[in-house]
Every structure is written in structure tokens, then in C-alpha cells.
């Protein structure tokens, strides 16, 4: 039913039991081994103006419906100018980060899935930056320092927040969530008891124009950081332009009207919302081969897509609903729908 074209977070998020550290590193190393050693010139490209997550919405059976609020609070929304950075700007931005973690002096220009990237490494650690949209991944598989003293959660959060602010990667007041992981039988497993946590996963959700930014091209939050009990960053996944908080985006035009409730209902009936997640109530992903039956959307939220490769901050509706699988299991469904009426 679902066919995601995702990168670093795919394997982790399918199970919700493992952190992505080893899988991401292994995947990237395999890709790099297949790449020619000669450095390639970076190029830019324009992607089609649509949410960049394919999904087989035809597997919704029968026709989806909506039980949404009768009135939408927001009638219009601003569209913002694209943020365009030269590759040299991005490289200059990351050089202090690369120096802090003792990466090689000069990054390689590589391509991953035909997209130009900058790649710093000090094996087995690496930093890779998407030059099309500024997203980046920091993986510190081998830590530079360690401590036998466990860092409390509040101290871990303060450290992560201060580190992100030092490089202007989050703004003041960004909301956060935390999840806990522990090594169980050589697997990093999600747990609920913070006192037993060996790894903290902090996720941050920035806003734009007082509206949430949704990660429509990935299954993780816009900013997520794992930190171990010694207080060392393990991974950082950043699904925004790296220089996003270094300047204020400007509206590209006057306010534009959003879809009416009637139009939204018609879009739902026509199976236009792009389904990105199907979960059981405990957060596990539902099997991708099962049909969705009696899908009903019950919550709608206006925000912006993080897929800035589109060129603009695309206003979208996030739809939350419920459905049943063929075997009768209840599942929660998340979809996205472009919000502009024109």
C-alpha cells in the first residue's frame, strides 16, 4: 500500500525499535563504495510542484470520508519566497561543525540518488549535506569523548538546545518531544522509563508564520537529535534548510485563500491527500500490504511543508484519521494535502 522514497530514517521508523545509527551508516557507506572516486560537479534541479512522497492511495477501500470541523479558522495563508543558497555558502556554514568534530578539512562533492551532497568524514563518523535543500545528517558512530557518569535528561536537553542554537539551527521557544532507548539484547529498544534510558531522542518542531512545519518528505520530525548517557551527540537529522534560522523568510505575495471545507471534502473523496503514515495505536507501522478500510479523517491542521526543494514554503493541510485493516485492526492514518485554493 505504501511506497516511500525516503533516505536515512526509513529502516528505523519501520520498526520504531531501533535507532538508525548503524543502518544509516551502513547504507551511506554502501552508496559511497558504489560511487566513483572522482569528485563530481554539483548541479541544481527543479522538482515538480507536488508533495514529494508517493503513496498508493488507491488501496483505500471503500472511498475515504471526513468528519472534520464545520468551520476552518484560517481562510488565507502567506506563501514565502524561496531560500536560495550558493553551495559555497552552505560549505562555509558547515566548516565550524566539521572542525568541531575533527572531520577532514575539505569535503567531497558526491551524489546520492543523483542529488549533489557535501560529504565530510573521519571514519566511521560523517557529515553529509544535501546541496539542493540544505538538509543534513550528522552521524558520530565513534564518540570523541566518554564518561561513566550518566547525564540527567534535563542536562541532556539543555546541552542539545545550546548546541543547536550555537549554530542557529533552532529558534527560541521551539517545542520538543523526547523518547527513551535502552540496549536490550544488543538492540536499541524504545522504553518508557526515563530512569533506564541509555539514549535520549529529542525532536524539535519549528514553526513558520505561527504555523507548524510538517516533514512531508520524511517520517521524522524537522529536527531530531540522539544523545547518549555520557552526553555525546550520536546522530542529528535536520530536515530543514541548514541556514533556515539565519534569516527571516519574506512573503512572496499577499495572503492566498486556502481550500474551503467543501473543497477539502471533495479532495478527500477523490483520494487526493497523500498518505504518509499508517500506524497502530502503539506507534508501530502497519503492514504495507494491507488495505485501509473505512478511512475517516477527523482532524485537520494547516501548516507548511518542509520540502523546500519545491522552491517555496508550500502551505499544506495535515489530516489525521482512523481506519481498519483487512484483519480488523484499528490504525491511525496521517496524510497531507496542498492547501492553496488556486
Confidence of residue 264 (pLDDT cuts 50, 70, 90): very high
Three cell numbers written together for 121: 568524514
Whole-number pLDDT of residue 314 = 82
281 CA to centre of own chain: 21
With beta carbons less than 8 A apart as the criterion, state whether 67 and 18 touch: no
pLDDT tens digits along 293-310: 889 999 999 998 887 655
Domain ranges of the chain: 10-36+84-246, 57-80+253-338
User: Mean pLDDT lowest for which of 17-26, 57-66, 130-139?
Assistant: 17-26
With beta carbons less than 8 A apart as the criterion, state whether 8 and 109 touch: no
Three cell numbers written together for 272: 487526493
With beta carbons less than 8 A apart as the criterion, state whether 300 and 260 touch: no
Average pLDDT on 13-37 reads: 36
With beta carbons less than 8 A apart as the criterion, state whether 212 and 175 touch: no
| Residue 89 predicted with pLDDT over 80 | yes
Angle at 45 between CA 39 and CA 51, to 5 degrees: 125
Calpha distance 270→256 (Å, rounded): 23
For 110, half-sphere exposure in the C-beta direction (CA atoms, 13 angstrom radius) is 21
Calpha distance 243→90 (Å, rounded): 8
Amino acid at each position: 500500500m505504501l511506497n516511500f522514497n525516503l533516505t536515512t530514517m526509513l529502516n528505523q521508523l519501520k520498526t520504531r525499535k531501533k535507532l538508525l545509527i548503524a543502518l544509516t551508516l551502513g547504507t551511506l557507506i554502501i552508496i559511497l563504495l558504489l560511487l566513483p572516486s572522482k569528485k563530481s560537479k554539483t548541479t541544481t534541479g527543479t522538482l515538480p510542484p507536488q508533495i514529494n512522497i508517493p503513496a498508493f492511495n488507491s488501496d483505500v477501500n471503500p472511498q475515504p470520508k471526513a468528519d472534520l470541523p464545520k468551520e476552518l479558522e484560517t481562510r488565507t495563508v502567506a506563501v514565502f519566497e524561496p531560500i536560495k543558497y550558493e553551495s559555497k555558502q552552505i560549505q562555509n556554514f558547515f566548516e565550524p561543525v566539521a572542525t568541531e568534530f575533527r572531520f577532514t578539512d575539505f569535503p567531497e562533492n558526491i551524489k546520492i540518488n543523483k542529488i549533489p551532497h557535501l560529504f565530510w568524514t573521519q571514519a566511521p563518523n560523517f557529515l553529509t549535506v544535501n546541496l539542493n535543500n540544505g538538509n543534513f545528517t550528522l552521524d558520530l558512530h565513534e564518540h570523541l569523548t566518554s564518561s561513566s557518569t550518566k547525564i540527567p535528561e534535563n542536562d541532556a536537553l539543555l546541552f542539545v538546545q545550546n548546541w543547536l542554537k550555537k549554530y542557529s539551527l533552532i529558534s527560541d521557544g521551539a517545542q520538543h518531544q523526547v523518547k527513551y532507548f535502552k540496549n536490550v539484547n544488543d538492540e536499541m529498544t524504545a522504553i518508557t522509563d526515563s530512569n533506564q534510558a541509555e539514549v535520549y531522542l529529542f525532536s524539535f518542531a519549528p514553526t513558520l508564520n505561527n504555523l507548524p512545519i510538517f516533514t512531508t518528505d520524511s517520517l521524522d520530525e524537522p529536527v531530531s537529535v540522539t544523545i547518549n548517557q555520557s552526553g555525546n551527540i550520536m546522530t542529528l537529522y535536520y530536515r530543514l534548510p541548514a541556514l533556515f534560522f539565519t534569516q527571516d523568510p519574506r512573503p512572496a505575495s499577499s495572503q492566498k485563500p486556502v481550500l474551503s471545507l467543501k473543497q477539502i471534502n471533495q479532495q478527500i473523496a477523490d483520494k487526493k491527500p497523500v498518505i504518509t503514515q499508517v500506524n497502530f495505536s502503539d506507534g508501530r507501522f502497519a503492514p504495507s500490504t494491507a488495505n485501509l478500510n473505512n478511512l475517516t479523517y477527523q482532524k485537520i491542521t494547516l501548516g507548511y511543508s518542509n520540502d523546500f526543494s519545491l522552491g517555496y514554503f508550500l502551505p499544506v493541510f495535515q489530516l489525521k484519521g482512523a481506519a481498519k485493516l483487512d484483519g480488523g485492526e484499528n490504525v491511525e492514518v496521517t496524510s497531507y494535502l496542498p492547501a492553496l485554493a488556486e
